[in-house]
Amino acid sequence: MHEEADHRVPVLIVGGSLVGLSMSLFLGRHGVRHTLVERHAGTSVHPRGRGNNVRTMELFRVAGIEPDIKTAASLLADNHGILQTPTLVGDAGEWLFKHIDPGGGLAKFSPTAWCLCSQNDLEPVLLEGARRLGGDLRYGQEMVSFEQDPEGVTAVVRDRATGADHTIRADYLVAADGPRSPVRDRLGIGQTGPGDLFANVSVTFRSKLLADAVGDRRFICCYLTDPEADGALLPVDNKENWVFHAPWHPERGETLDEFTEERCERHIRRATGVPDLDVEITGKASWRAAERVADRYAAGRVFLAGDSAHEMSPTGAFGSNTGIQDAHNLAWKLAAVLDGWAGPGLLETYDTERRPVALATSARASARSVEHSHPGFAPAPGTAPAGKQGGILNVVLGHRYPQGAVVGADPAVPVVPEAFRLTGEPGSRAPHMWLRRSGDLVSTLDLYERSMVLLSDARGTAGWQDAARRIADRDAVRLDAYRIGTGPDAELTYDGTAGGDGHPAADWAQVHGTTTDGAVLVRPDGFVAWRAPGAVADPEATLREVLATVLGPA
C-alpha cells in the first residue's frame, strides 16, 4: 500500500493546535521535513489556554519567536495574579497571589519570564513561524486511518471540504490529536488517573461597563464565589471583551441546552455583583477537566504528545505547557535519529522521560485546583493543596529525568524534587548564565537547540574541546564545544553586568557543579546529559562512551 502513497515525508503530525504547531515549529528548526494535518479549518478562535510558563517561553525564545509572542500578548502584559472574591463590587476578597514573580527573582534562573498569551493569539504566531521554516501545514484535513509496519506509517487523510482521500507515507507519526485521541484509541493504549474532575461552560461576552467594576485590578483570573453564581472571570482585552467559566454539572443531569443566553447573562450579573451589567454573549464552549495519563507514550513508530498523552486540571496551565515541552523533547530525538547521528533506541527515552513528568505534574495541577477552590471542583477527600507539595518553580523548571537519555543521574531523585535547585546535575535543566559570545550577550540556554554541547573551562586543559571536535568530525555527531572564561582561549566570556539582572557574574564551573578541569555535556533540549567533575585520562574515549550511551548506536 505504501509504495503508492501520494505524499512521502519523514514525520506526519496529526493535530494542529498548540502542541501540534509547536511540534512543527521545533522540527522546522531542526530542518526536518514534515506534514501537519488538522481537521478544523483554521487556528483556535476561543481565548483559552493563556498561561505560558517560563520553561515554555525559554523554548520559544530559542526557536526565535519570543518577540512575536510578546507582541501578540501585549493586551494582557500588565495582568498578574489571581483574585478570589464574592463580588467585584467594593474591595472584598483576597489575592491568591498578586504577582507571579514578586521581586523579580526569576531573572536569576532564566533569561525570560511567564507570558500571558491566549491560545487564539498564540496559535497564529506558531503557525507563521512553522511555515517560515518550511512546514507543510494542511488545515481542513482529517486522518481517517493509519497502518504501521517496521519501516514506517501509512495514513489515509480526507479533505473535509471535498471528501477526497489521499495517502501519506511517513517514517514516524506524532499524534497531537487531543484528549479523545483517535490515534491513542486505535493503538489500544489505556489511561491511568482519577478521570473526570469537573466541567465548565466557557462563555465569551462583551461588556463595556464591566471594566468600571474591575477597576485597576489587573488579574489573570478572578474566582467569583457567590454560592448561587460562582465562576471564573478572565479578561481578554481589559476593556470590553471577557470570558466567564460557569460550572456545569452533567453528573447531575444538567445539559448544555440549559445554558441559554438568558441564563448566562443572569449568572454573570449575579456573579460580578452588578445587576444592571450590559452583557452581550458572543460564544459558548463546553469543556471538561480531567486527570489522566496514557499508559504508554509510543507504540512502534507512533508517538503521543499533548492532551492525547495527558489531561490535567487547567489551574496553573500545566497541561498545555507540558504538551509543548513533550513536543520539544521528541523533536530533537526524531531529528537526531532521522539525521543518523543517534540510534532508534533514543526514541524510547521519550516515554521514559516525559511520562513520569506528566504523572507528577497532573497531580500538582489537581492540587493547585484544590488550593484555589476552582469553581465547580469538588476534590476527592484527602487531596492535598499544591502549597503542601513544594513550589511551582519545582514543577516548571526543576523537574528531572532520573532515567532516559542521561548518564549519571540519580534514579532515586523524585521527578519533581522538593528543593528547587538548578546546579548542573545530569537529568536536570542546565543552569542559566549570561555570557558574551563575540561581544554579544547570550544566555547559556541560547546555546542548546540543534546539537549536543560540551562546556569546559578556559582555565583548564583543552583536551575536552579537542576531543569533542574530533568526535564531531569523525563520527558525524552534532556536537559543539565551548570553553568558558577569560583570555584568548575562551569562546564564551563572562559578562560584567550579568545581563543587567542585578546578579553578579558567577563562575561557570561552580554554577554547573564541576571544576576547572571538568566538563558538562548538554542535550539539544537544554537538559544535562552528563557531567565530569574533573579531568580524565582519555577525554575522547570517555566522551565517545558517554555519547554512545546517551544517543545509542547510530
**Following DSSP, what letter does each residue of 19-40 receive, concatenated?**
HHHHHHHHHHHTT--EEEEESS
Confidence of residue 2 (pLDDT cuts 50, 70, 90): low
- Is 517's pLDDT higher than 70? yes
277, 210 Cβ separation under 8 angstroms: yes
Strand segments (E) across 56-122: 82-85, 94-97, 115-116
- The CATH-assigned architecture of domain 193-290 is 2-Layer Sandwich (3.30)
Report the DSSP pairing between strands 82-85 and 221-224.
parallel
Report the DSSP pairing between strands 231-235 and 221-224.
antiparallel
Residue 343 or residue 390, greater confidence:
343
| Separate counts of helices (H) and strands (E) for the chain | 13, 25
Burial class (CB in 10 A: 0-12, 13-18, 19+), 533: middle
Mean pLDDT of 485-505: 72
pLDDT at 332: 98
* Contacts by residues 101-109 (CB-CB < 8 Å, ≥ 24 positions apart): 104/501, 104/502, 106/54, 106/393, 107/499, 107/501, 107/502, 107/503, 108/501, 108/503, 109/54, 109/393, 109/397, 109/422, 109/431, 109/432
State how far the Cα of 88 lies from the Cα of 84, in Å rounded to an integer: 10
pLDDT averaged over every residue in the chain:
91
Least confident of 8-17, 69-78, 266-275: 69-78
455 forms bridges with which residues in the sheet?
Answer: 482, 520
pLDDT cut 90: percent of the chain above it: 76
State how far the Cα of 304 lies from the Cα of 281, in Å rounded to an integer: 36
Burial class (CB in 10 A: 0-12, 13-18, 19+), 535: middle
Highest-scoring range by mean pLDDT, 38-42, 86-90, 101-105, 495-499: 38-42
Report the DSSP pairing between strands 115-116 and 51-52.
antiparallel
Confidence of residue 278 (pLDDT cuts 50, 70, 90): very high
484, 510 Cβ separation under 8 angstroms: no
pLDDT at 292: 95
pLDDT at 389: 37
Report the DSSP pairing between strands 280-294 and 310-311.
antiparallel
One fold for 2-76+113-190+293-348 and 434-551: no
Question: Tens digit of pLDDT for each residue in 187-231?
Answer: 999 999 998 888 999 999 999 999 999 999 999 999 999 999 999
Report the DSSP pairing between strands 528-532 and 519-522.
antiparallel
Give, rounded to a whole angstrom, the gap between the first and last alpha carbons of the chain: 29
Mean pLDDT of 33-49: 88
Tell me the domain boundaries of the chain: 2-76+113-190+293-348, 193-290, 434-551
Statement: 434-551 belongs to CATH 3.40.190.10: no
Handedness of CA 295, 296, 297, 303 (dihedral sign): negative
Q: Grid coordinates standing for 220?
A: 489573570
Question: Tens digit of pLDDT for each residue in 377-410?
Answer: 555 544 444 443 347 889 999 999 999 999 999 9
- Is 53's pLDDT higher than 70? yes
Q: Taking the domain 2-76+113-190+293-348, which CATH number applies?
A: 3.50.50.60
pLDDT at 554: 65
